[in-house]
Structure 1
Amino acid sequence: MNEDDHEIEDLQREVAGLLLEYVYAPLLEDQHVRGVLPAPEGAPAVRVALGDRDECVPSRLTMYEIPLGAGDELRTSHDVVALLRAAHTGTHIYPSDRVTSVMGMDLYVVDPANLEEAPFTTHDWVSALLRCLARPPDGRRETGLRGFLFTAGGLLRLYLDSADVRGVVGADVRPGGALTALLAALPSLLGREWRTPDTLDDPHCRYVVDLTGW
């Protein structure tokens, strides 16, 4: 097995892991993920079945095959979600060679060139942030996620610990913006003296760092 095959396998695992959260929470409107399958014969693609929550009857499910390659690069798992949402939204015309059936389900082979990827949503942003803090992709854990709370004004309070600070520190963030930059900066920001007033009514942390403008 060559390096490209390993990368495809890793990405298929990553996509399956990401799509787990849409089994019970809808991917869009009333559509839930009812299956994630590696494309057969080692093809560089994933197949995703969508349908109503708890639906198992094949004829009531729709499956999409999403290619994982984008030129010389691979798509990310979030790219796959964006294409999946776009494919299932609105009316799309598929040539006959891209429509078939498998295991009793209609199968549509998606051509990304004919789709405009759906935007990265606030839900996606929050989910990615919490997942990266709880399970760092590289295994390193400079900050540990001890909890979280959605608060007024569309903010998210993170409860974090770190080897560089004592106890649990809260961090208020506003979903959106540069997620990668925030994740990289969090360890160094937790110890700064940007604190809420002494009247802070939150017994779950020592103080709160205001990162809403980050």
Structure 2
Amino acid sequence: MTPTYDDIAERQADIARLLLHHIHAPLPDGRFIRGVLPSPPPAADVRIVTGPERTGAPDDLTAWEIPLRTIDDPEELAGPNDVLGIVRALNSGTRIFSSSRVGTVMGMTLVRVDPAQAAPAGPGERDDAFTILRTLAHPWTEEQPDPRLRGFLLQGPDRMRLYVDREEDTDVVAADVRPSGAPTALLAALPSLIEEVERTVPGDIGDPHCSRLIDLTDW
């Protein structure tokens, strides 16, 4: 059965759940995962942002747009480990991409990946160990928190953008937060804060990955 957008949204959330554990682990070329962006609907893609460990400048970052539908079976969606393997392969040395596949988004270089030309790098010993430890410490469940994390973007010193949606609603709301603030209180209040329309940043926010943006950096 062809995946619905609900299926795509769930898989984007699964990918964000896995890749957030890898923001401190360098990729083969020394760059780091800086974000997971939910591609605008109805695209069956996810955008993985990579760049230097400490940067907030968009022109230092690359967003890799990775199709979630697999080559062998378009009715199947690539899993989080598949996406991580592709990202590692893409960041394993110099690659040349056709200009037709390169653009920009939010000031970042956007590369539309052809999965046929990016065989996933296989898991290593540490990946297998991580899978065991993560499963014991944080068992993987079908039930997602509400609001559900669909993605994130590390924007620079003490600033991060969260992409979330609500239960049974795949409409993405972005929230800019300060990690050094009061994270425990913020997380507790987030379900109600994202419903407060008056917090919406007015005008064109230049972010196609969400329907609206709220600013919680001073909360």
State TM-score, norm by structure 1. 0.60
Structure 2 counterpart of 1:41, one-letter code: P
On the 8 A contact 1:99/1:108 being kept in 2, the answer is yes
Structure 2 counterpart of 1:58, one-letter code: P
State TM-score, norm by structure 2. 0.59
- The whole-number CA distance in structure 2 between the counterparts of 1:20 and 1:129 is 17
Structure 1, unaligned runs of 5 or more: 141-214
Cα offsets for 1:134-170 (capped at 9, x unmatched): 2222379xxxxxxxxxxxxxxxxxxxxxxxxxxxxxx
Percent of residue pairs identical: 39
SS at match of 1:50: strand
Structure 2, unaligned runs of 5 or more: 144-219
Q: Which residue of 1 aligns with 2:82?
A: 79
Q: Which residue of 2 aligns with 1:130?
A: 133
Q: Which residue of 1 aligns with 2:121?
A: 118
The structure, 1 or 2, with the larger RCO (C-alpha pairs under 8 Å, 6+ apart) is: 2
- The whole-number CA distance in structure 2 between the counterparts of 1:11 and 1:80 is 11
Offset at 1:81? 0.3
CA gap 1:109/1:3 in 2 versus in 1, 3 angstroms: closer
On the 8 A contact 1:8/1:44 being kept in 2, the answer is yes
Cα offsets for 1:181-200 (capped at 9, x unmatched): xxxxxxxxxxxxxxxxxxxx
Question: 2:111 pairs with 108, 112, 125, which one?
Answer: 108
Offset at 1:26? 1.7
- Do structure 1's residue 15 and structure 2's residue 15 form an aligned pair? yes
Structure 2 counterpart of 1:83, one-letter code: I
SS at match of 1:73: coil
- The whole-number CA distance in structure 2 between the counterparts of 1:43 and 1:3 is 11
Structure 1 counterpart of 2:21, one-letter code: E
- The whole-number CA distance in structure 1 between the counterparts of 2:69 and 2:140 is 21
- Do structure 1's residue 93 and structure 2's residue 96 form an aligned pair? yes
Output the aligned Cα RMSD: 2.0
Q: Which has the larger radius of gyration?
A: 1
In the alignment of these two chains, the number of paired residues is 139
